[in-house]
A and B are shown apart, each in its own frame.
Chain A
């Protein structure tokens, strides 16, 4: 099972738009909420109301300050979750076959009944996408809400990952990267979507859209011409004299 499929029919994944993400963490909460029920062991928390709380999350939102060569710095909110890599190193290192990539749609999943909790897959992932559940002793990761996207008991509008469904700014998109006409493929092409750390040869499926270029004001103020007051009379004479000293 831990041999990677030669190719997958679909390449399901996410596009995260760093331009529109406001860093509200709604996707983090929706992910935790959905994955607390239903598929696999619930995402547990340890000591949630104590002095040193800790818990498993499949999606985390970082914030970075980026200083361009010119202009003021920008704050970029950066959601980080599994990229469902085509050459997923987390899959091939698994000794039990618990970790696998689905041939039909490319989703990387963990069969929790076969997971021994050795943690090697989390070591192999450069992106920190996998977290061990301290309660169940098995590895947890993003399932692309496999129990939502094919779930015919849900209204069609809800058949997408919880993080995408909940995002209030529409910064997250779900779709098939193998289809060049899908929303995610078109967004990636139009906006220059990129992969994270491609040098590590993991071939991530998910793409990030870089923030759009910010407007740069050409003048300091619209009132600037009016502010350029020439002193006349005594003040003008004083200005001239003081300027020469």
Chain B
């Protein structure tokens, strides 16, 4: 799958932002004054900034408001609703923290629930895809929650929780790489089942339908840049581990958060670049 920068930035930063807002929403920590302004600002900036980045990916972003309508069937629609609900519910609590108004925390707790729902619905957009076997697996939501909550815990100042989650996340990444590599084969689709020609014999591509590129090849059969996949995996896991260790070092938490996000970006790039769509079978490529 094509690793579009807008989607990578969107999923990493909004995931981090919603992870942080989940902690701030329940008041753990509950900052006051300008510290609250900075903390909530970071959460809102990342969450909303990521959402805005995602609209850059659309063909007709002026119609994006329509995406709130199909919550009954579409995970993308549910994600949009959960994201906006989080941003709205947390607003009075953020204002109260900043100006020390002492308003009740209940909307913040509901906002935290919505933040978790946003992370979950984001991950389900990918997990639901039977056409992309690597994504159609429990490790996808686990990874999305892992990255969001680890980053959120580190940014919220929970050093031990952040380090523990980071350590677990590194392990989870290894499991996801290991299982993900066999997912396409386990899904069992081949050029033979894609064309139905397996009932005659062994099918191979004789001639492609077109000599130029097309949307399918650019978007779903994107094979560019897989060359350094193994190196990038090591870098991604190493960076996430380093962030987890650094989180425990006093005053190094901003660096730890930065490192964690760098690891998340690398991992998310791989999440797209190494995912293979079954339509590639028709073209004899994955």
**A residues engaging B (CB < 8 A)?**
1-4, 18, 25, 28, 52-57, 60-69, 73-76, 78, 80, 89, 91-98, 114-120, 122-128, 131-134, 136-139, 194-197, 199-201, 208, 210-211
The distance in angstroms between the C-alpha atoms of A137 and B204, with both chains bound, is 34
* B132 nearest CB neighbor, chain A only: A123
Expressed in whole angstroms, the Cα–Cα distance for A160 and B193 within the complex equals 29
* Contact yes or no, B200 A68, CB < 8 A: yes
- A57-B70 CB under 8 A given contacts A62-B209, A116-B59, A132-B59: no
Chain A residues with CB under 8 A of B206? 63-65, 75
B194 in contact with A196 (CB, 8 Å): yes
User: How many contacts A-B (CB < 8 Å)?
Assistant: 204
| Contact B215–A56 (Cβ < 8 Å) | yes
Q: Which 7 A-B pairs have the closest CB atoms?
A: A117-B59, A137-B59, A128-B279, A68-B201, A96-B66, A60-B209, A95-B67
| Interchain nearest-CB distance for A76 vs B (Å) | 6
Q: Which residue on A lies nearest to B61, using beta carbons?
A: A116
Verify B278–A119 contact, CB threshold 8 A: no
B213–A125 contact, CB under 8 A? no
Chain A contacts of B72 at CB under 8 A?
2-3
Among candidates A1, A53, A93, residue contacting B212 with C-beta atoms closer than 8 Å = A53
Instruction: Kindly list chain A residues whose C-beta atoms are within 8 Å of the C-beta of B122.
Output: none
Which chain B residues lie closer than 8 Å to A114 at the CB level?
A: 63, 66
Q: Which of A25, A62, A118 contacts B76 (CB under 8 A)?
A: A118
Contact B75 A210 (CB under 8 A): no
Which size bracket describes the interface of B in this complex? 35 or more
B contact residues around A194 at 8 Å (CB): 196, 199
In whole angstroms, what is the CA distance A119 to B195 when docked? 24
Known A-B contacts: A54-B213, A132-B215, A199-B188. Give 14 more (CB < 8 A).
A63-B209, A64-B195, A65-B203, A76-B195, A76-B200, A89-B130, A94-B74, A97-B69, A118-B76, A123-B220, A137-B59, A196-B193, A201-B130, A208-B196
Kindly state the separation between the CA atoms of A98 and B63 in the bound complex, as whole angstroms.
11
**CB < 8 Å: which of B59, B69, B195, B278 contacts A126?**
B278
Q: Is the CB of B201 within 8 A of A66?
A: yes
From B66, B194, B203, give the contact of A66 (CB < 8 A).
Answer: B203
Most buried by A among B1, B58, B282: B282
Instruction: List, in ascending order, chain B residues with CB within 8 A of A117's CB.
Output: 58-60
Q: State whether A78 touches B219 (Cβ < 8 A).
A: no
Report if A128-B202 is in contact (Cβ < 8 Å); known contacts: A116-B64, A138-B59: no
Known A115-B60, A116-B63, A208-B196; judge A123-B1 contact (CB<8 A): yes
User: Is there a chain A Cβ closer than 8 Å to B128's Cβ?
Assistant: yes
Q: Using known A-B contacts A75-B206, A126-B131, determine if residue A97 contacts B60 with beta carbons closer than 8 Å.
A: no
- CA–CA, A157 and B80, complex, Å: 47
Residues of A within 8 A of B203 (CB): 64-66, 76
Q: Is the CB of A62 within 8 A of B58?
A: no
How long is the Cα–Cα vector from A95 to B124 in the complex, in angstroms?
13
- Whether the pair B204, A65 counts as a contact (CB closer than 8 A) is yes
B66 and chain A: residue at smallest CB distance: A96
Instruction: Jot down 20 A-B pairs with beta carbons below 8 A, ordered by A.
Output: A56-B214, A57-B210, A62-B205, A64-B191, A65-B203, A68-B200, A73-B201, A78-B197, A93-B125, A94-B70, A94-B73, A95-B68, A95-B80, A116-B60, A118-B76, A123-B1, A125-B131, A126-B131, A197-B278, A210-B199
* A96 with B67: CB separation less than 8 A: yes
Complexed CA–CA distance, A1 and B77 (Å): 13
Question: Taking the nearest CB of chain B, how far is it from the CB of A3, in angstroms?
Answer: 5
- Contact residues in B for A197 (Cβ distance below 8 Å): 189, 193-194, 278
B260 within 8 A of A: no
Contacts of A73 in B (CB 8 A): 201
Cα-based distance from A117 to B77 in the complex (angstroms): 14
Chain A nearest Cβ from B213, distance in angstroms: 5
List residues of chain B with CB within 8 A of the CB of A199. Answer: 188-189, 193
Q: Which of chain B's residues has its CB closest to A194's CB?
A: B196
Shortest C-beta distance, A203 to chain B (Å), equals 12
Q: How far is the CA of A200 from the CA of B279 in the complex (A)?
A: 12
Q: How far is the CB of A170 from chain B (nearest CB, A)?
A: 20
Contact across chains for B199 and A96 when beta carbons are under 8 A apart: no
With contacts A54-B214, A76-B197, A117-B60 known, is A128 near B189, CB below 8 A? no
Chain A residues closer than 8 Å to B188, beta-carbon distance: 199
Q: Flag if A93 contacts B76 (CB, 8 Å).
A: yes
What residues of chain B lie closer than 8 Å to A91, measured between beta carbons? 73
B129 at the interface (CB under 8 A from A): yes
Q: How far is the CB of B124 from chain A (nearest CB, A)?
A: 10
Question: Which A residues are CB-close (under 8 A) to B220?
Answer: 122-123, 128
Assuming the contacts A62-B205, A93-B74, A124-B129, asked whether A137 and B191 have C-beta atoms less than 8 A apart, the reply is no
Are A89 and B61 in contact, with the CB atoms below 8 A? Answer: no
Give complex CA distance A67, B197 in Å.
Answer: 10
